[in-house]
Structure formats: structure tokens, C-alpha cells
Amino acid sequence: MTAIPRTVRLAAGLVAAAPSALTPALAWAAPTDPPPKKVVDGPDLAAGARNAPGAAAISDLINTIGFYAIIACLIGLLLSGLILVIGPRLGFDRASTVGKIGIFAALGGAFLIGISATLVNFFYNAGA
């Protein structure tokens, strides 16, 4: 009796399973009822943003503040890295700890700045 090599058995199994794996499943969803009407609608923030006086200036101001905050995080990251590397060599025994804390603070600040709009939109839509 000859033993069938493992690779041949694996290939035969794949060939046998291919027709069922490649056939699209025909799953039809049952029709659902339309969502019930709301008693009170939330505020239409998009219309308010289009019609509010100074909305474009406020949007530009927020984007500018975000830009400068990211630049500040980058500068903080670079300075903390320098403190981490150079500080102990100059004789400052706690410089490595301060450098590590500064790196994590700069990265955390950049993360919060980057995710802030997503978080606000998520929680607004969760409450709507």
C-alpha cells in the first residue's frame, strides 16, 4: 500500500471544495418595515453651517489652530527626543525619564488633535 503525499491530499481537498466556495450564496433578506417617524427632529447642523454668518471664517480659524497645534506636537516630539538622547550624556540623570514623558505627551496630543473631529462626529451621530 502506497502512502499519498500530504501535498497531494491538500490539493485534492482544495479542488473538491472549490465549487462550493466559489458559488455565491443566495441569501435574501426579508423586507423590513420603514423606520417610525420621529416626534422631534434634531437640529440640521449642515444647514446652520451654510447659513451662519462667519461660518467660513470660523472653519478657517479652527483649521489654522489645528495646524499650529500639530506643529507644536512635532516640535515637542523633536525636543523630547533630543532630551532623551543628549540629556544623560550631559550628566542630567532624570533627562531620559523627562524625554520619554515628553515623547508620549507629544504623540498623545497629536493623536487627540487628529481624532477630535471623528470623535465629535461619532458622538453626535450616536445621539441623533
C-alpha cell at 91: 550628566
Backbone φ, ψ for residue 122 (5° rounding): -60, -50
pLDDT of residue 124: 84
What is the distance of C-alpha 100 from the center of its chain?
24
* Exposure class string for 106-124: b at 16+ Cβ within 10 A, else e: beebbeebeeeeeeeeeee
Q: Are 70 and 109 in contact (CB under 8 A)?
A: no
Burial class (CB in 10 A: 0-12, 13-18, 19+), 35: exposed
pLDDT along the chain (128 residues), means of 10: 63 60 59 71 72 86 95 97 94 92 97 93 83
What local confidence, expressed as pLDDT, does residue 76 receive?
97
76 within 8 A of 111, measured Cβ to Cβ:
no
- Predicted confidence at residue 21, as pLDDT, reads 54
